[in-house]
Amino acid sequence: MTRTALIAGRGALPTALIAAMDQAPLICALDGFPPDGLAVDQMFRIERLAIFLDWLVDQGVTRVVFAGAVQRPRLDPSLMDPQSAQILPRIMAAFQAGDDATLRAIIGIFEEASLAVSGVADIAPALVPGPGMLAGQISAIDDRDACRAAAIVAALGPVDVGQGAVVQQGLCLAVEVLAGSDAMLHSVSQLAANLRPDPARGKGVFYKAPKPGQDRRIDLPTLGVQTVQRAAAAGLAGIAWEAGGVICLDLPAMIGCANDAGLFLWARP
C-alpha cells in the first residue's frame, strides 16, 4: 500500500489536497514555514535533509507530494550532518541557477532516496481543470490579449522569471515577479488611467501558465477566489490560464465570484 508524505507550505493548497486524498498523509514542513491550520508530524531542515529522508523511509513512505508556498531558507552550516553535507553543495548550486533548477534538484534527491514524487494533478485532478469556458464569455480582443500574454509568459520562462502577465489591447501592463500574482494585480489596479488603453475597447486579461519545460509535479501556478477579486479590482475583463497546468482552489467559489463581478474564467487549450 502506498503511504504518502505531504511536504506542506503556506496557503490553502495543502488543506485542499488533503481533502481530496483517500488516506491521510504524513504532514511534513520545512522549519520556519509551518502550514496554515495543519498539525505537522515532522519538521525538517535542509541542513539535515539526509536524516529527514531516512525518517520518511523508516515511516514506510513511498510517495511524496509538495504543496504550498515556501521561501528559500537561510542555511546554517553548523547544523549540517555528514550525509547532508554531501547533498548540500548540489542544492546550493541549484539555488544559483534559479527556482526551476532548485525544484528539479529537490525532486532528484527525493527520487534517489526511493521516494516517488507525485504532482497535485496526480493526487487531485479536479484541482487542475481541463479546457473550457467556466464563467462569462470572451471577446475577440480578449482572445488576442490572452494569446499575447501567453507568448509573454512563455518568453519569460527560460529566464525563470514568473508565471503570469496582464495584457490590455496588446499592451503588457505587468508581469509576475518574486512578489507574486496578487502584488502584480494590485500594481495594475494602481496604474494611472492615462497609462492604460480605453477600457471601452477591451479591459485586459490576466494570464497564468507553468513555465515552458517546467516539471509539473511541483510549483504549479495557483489561482483562487482572491485572484478573481484582485482581477476585478484591477478592472480586467477576466482571467485565462493554461488548461491542465494551473491549480484552481475552490473552483465553484471562483466561478461564483467571477459571475458576480462580470469577469470571465477561461481554461485555455
pLDDT digits (tens, 9 = 90+) for 44-102: 999 999 999 999 999 999 999 999 988 888 888 888 899 998 988 888 888 887 777 88
Q: Which of 218, 206, 205, 265 is CA-nearest to residue 245? A: 218
pLDDT of residue 66: 96
Q: Which of 225, 212, 221, 265 is CA-nearest to residue 245? A: 221
- What would the pLDDT profile of 150-176 be if each residue is shown by its tens digit? 999 999 988 888 899 999 999 999 999
Is residue 6 within 8 A of residue 35, CB to CB? The reply is no
Contacts of 115 (CB under 8 A, 6+ apart): 5, 53, 56, 57, 61, 62, 63, 64
Measured distance CA(12)–CA(248) in Å, rounded: 11
Secondary structure class of 247 (helix, strand, coil): strand
CATH number assigned to the domain with residue range 4-123, chosen from the 4 options 3.40.50.20, 3.20.20.105, 3.30.465.10, 3.40.640.10 = 3.40.50.20
Amino acid type, 209: A
- What would the pLDDT profile of 178-233 be if each residue is shown by its tens digit? 889 999 999 999 999 999 999 999 999 999 999 988 889 988 999 999 999 999 99
**Superfamily of chain region 128-268:** LpxI C-terminal catalytic domain (3.40.140.80)
Secondary structure class of 164 (helix, strand, coil): strand
pLDDT of residue 160: 81
Domain ranges in the chain are 4-123, 128-268
* Domains 4-123 and 128-268 alike in fold: no
Q: Which three cell numbers stand for residue 142?
A: 480578449
Tell me the whole-structure pTM to 2 decimals: 0.90
How many CB atoms lie under 10 A from the CB of residue 250? Answer: 15
Measured distance CA(269)–CA(263) in Å, rounded: 19
pLDDT of residue 144: 98
- Kindly provide the b/e burial profile for residues 42-56, where b requires at least 16 CB atoms within 10 angstroms of the residue's own CB: eebbbbbbbebbebb
Is residue 254 within 8 A of residue 265, CB to CB? The reply is yes
Q: Which carries the bigger pLDDT value, residue 133 or residue 79?
A: 133
